[in-house]
Amino acid sequence: MTFRAPIRDLAFALKTVGHPELIARAWPDLDDDTVQAVLEAAGAFADNELAPLNRRGDLEGARYENGVVTAAPGFADAYRHFVEQGWNSLSADPEHGGQGLTKAMELAVFEMVHAANMAFGLCPMLTQAAIEALTLHGTERQKRLVLPKLVSGEWTGAMCLTEPQAGSDLAALTAIARPDGNGGYRLSGQKIFITWGDHDAADNIAHLIIARTPDAPPGIKGISLFLATKFEVKDDGSIGGRNSFRPASIEHKLGIHGSPTCVMLYEDAQAELVGELGQGLAHMFVMMNAARLQVGVQGVAIAERAFQQALSFSQERKQGRATFEDAGGMIYGHPDVRRTLMLMKARIEAARGICLLTGVLADLADRAATDDERAAARARQELLTPIAKAWSTDIGVEVASAGVQLHGGMGFIEETGAAQHYRDARIAPIYEGTNGIQAMDLIGRKLRANGGETLKALCGEMALTAELLTETAELAAVGRRLAAAIAALERAADRALGADNIAALAMATPFLKLAGDVVGGWILGRQALAAAAAGADDPWLKAKGALARLYASQVLTQASGVADGLAESADDLADTPAHALAG
């Protein structure tokens, strides 16, 4: 099946979910025509260059031979074209060679990239995260010599955290960086699961690595952030000899076979400090948070790809007697098939809206007119980031699974391609802090940061949308159900704020899902209102209302039950040892 970039959906989402009047004030040159032109050009690249490589990348994958990693067939050429066309530098600061567009625009473009070829998109995605980290915390030398090369895409970035004994528990890492007596460091250790840690698609690779110095205190306070490049970067910007780190192997994975996931060995490698000693985790979190939002977009992207294939199949496959005659006898005419597809589409649009809104808030946190506006945007961005990452990647897996199911037995056969989307999607809930960690972050830090005031303000804004929906005849039921779901979220938040630590951790994941469901319903309600105002004669616009109604009836109606049962599991969890679950 040929992939088609969802340009109209993305343009509509950018217009409806954010704060267009504030963005227009901060980016006066970013008018509707410019947005459309950027989306169309990026969509053409995704459709024509990246999507055709997706299946071959899955089947043949990246290769490791004799200590050398080679990108999947066609990926290196595609990356060169990606860079030449300027897609790597969209939102970077013009001071470092970037185009200065919004984070939301970057996310919209990368959704199309990830949907066309998720394994490819991981490479520039991590480069974007490295750009953000060095922009905020890099030394003058790093900003002069390394950052512009990352912005241009001539070099790529890699994030190096995990060790065999230290996954999410970064306090357990053992990689060590010893001062070399000349202002630099010599770094030794092993890192695993390093996405695009080595390859042949770019001239150099900049590794951002967390490690300890010899006299560092134990735990996270002893972690610092270091930069090591595959080839030496001389003071005049030229590239010197090979640094003393290398890939030991690439992982054999469930999916994303086109992405080389490396085991990296650092053997007294030349490195330099990024930021301050002992602040490595805080500095790395800049990179991780950027990657978390991008991974949320990956969830949207792979869901979009799976949905498109399922929708196409439903219009080509004939089985049984269809109920709806407009489907020409194909399975799209079966009510449950159509319900499944519409709910897939509704969840995608909700997740897309959450991710793009989080990007808009990042933009406003940087450029809004007043200190208060910037602070409010930052607080809401931080609240929504774990939701954008976790809820959207769960949606990616759920929609990809529904895509396999809709194909029937054909979906379980690799040749149809539906299984690849499911396999590729499954890593995203694990990447950049598992979704359970995102839930703990939401309920333990982001919700409690100011006594719940940020969520309370968001609920108030969502309630205003619910009122507008109830005043629109065809959307009144959506408004009532959204209002009830908002009230349920507020009850759940009150319980979480009053809970002890164990109870809060026990309810973290269902609380995040509830929050995502409700915010997603709000996004769909806003889109339905915008579509109704734009005119009801266009079937595409009419479908926005239908999607909001279906989502409200099948998702928002569950919110009250989830909220009411949220605090009831902690005791049962505490009282159930592992042997009680064994057969």
Show the tokens assigned to 252.
Answer: 């054999």
Handedness of CA 204, 205, 206, 210 (dihedral sign): negative
The beta strands (E) that lie in 237-394 are given as 239-242, 245-250, 261-274
- The angle that helices 508-534 and 7-17 make with each other, rounded to 10 degrees, is 100
Exactly one of 84, 432, 474, 490 is catalytic; name it: 432
Q: What CA–CA distance (Å, rounded) separates 262 from 270?
A: 19
CA distances for 169 relative to 133, 174, 219, 266, angstroms: 21, 12, 10, 20
Spell out a b/e string for 63-91, using b for 16 or more CB atoms within 10 Å of the CB, else e.
ebeeeebbbbbbbeebbeebbeeebbbbb
Cα gap 409→386, rounded to integer Å:
35
Q: Which helix (H) or strand (E) holds 384?
A: helix 371-407
Tell me the angle at which helices 371-407 and 280-314 cross, rounded to the nearest 10 degrees.
40
8 A C-beta contact, residue 406 and residue 532: no
Query: Which secondary-structure segment (H or E) carries 225?
Result: strand 223-229
Interstrand relation of 155-160 and 223-229 (parallel, antiparallel or unpaired): unpaired
DSSP 503-545: HHHHTHHHHHHHHHHHHHHHHHHHHHHHHHHH-SSSHHHHHHH
Is 140 labeled as catalytic in the residue annotation?
no
What's the CA gap between 289 and 292, in Å, rounded? 5
Concatenated DSSP letters for 267-307? EEEEEEEES-TT-HHHHHHHHHHHHHHHHHHHHHHHHHHHH
Residue type, 389: K
Q: Give me the active site residues, please.
A: 432
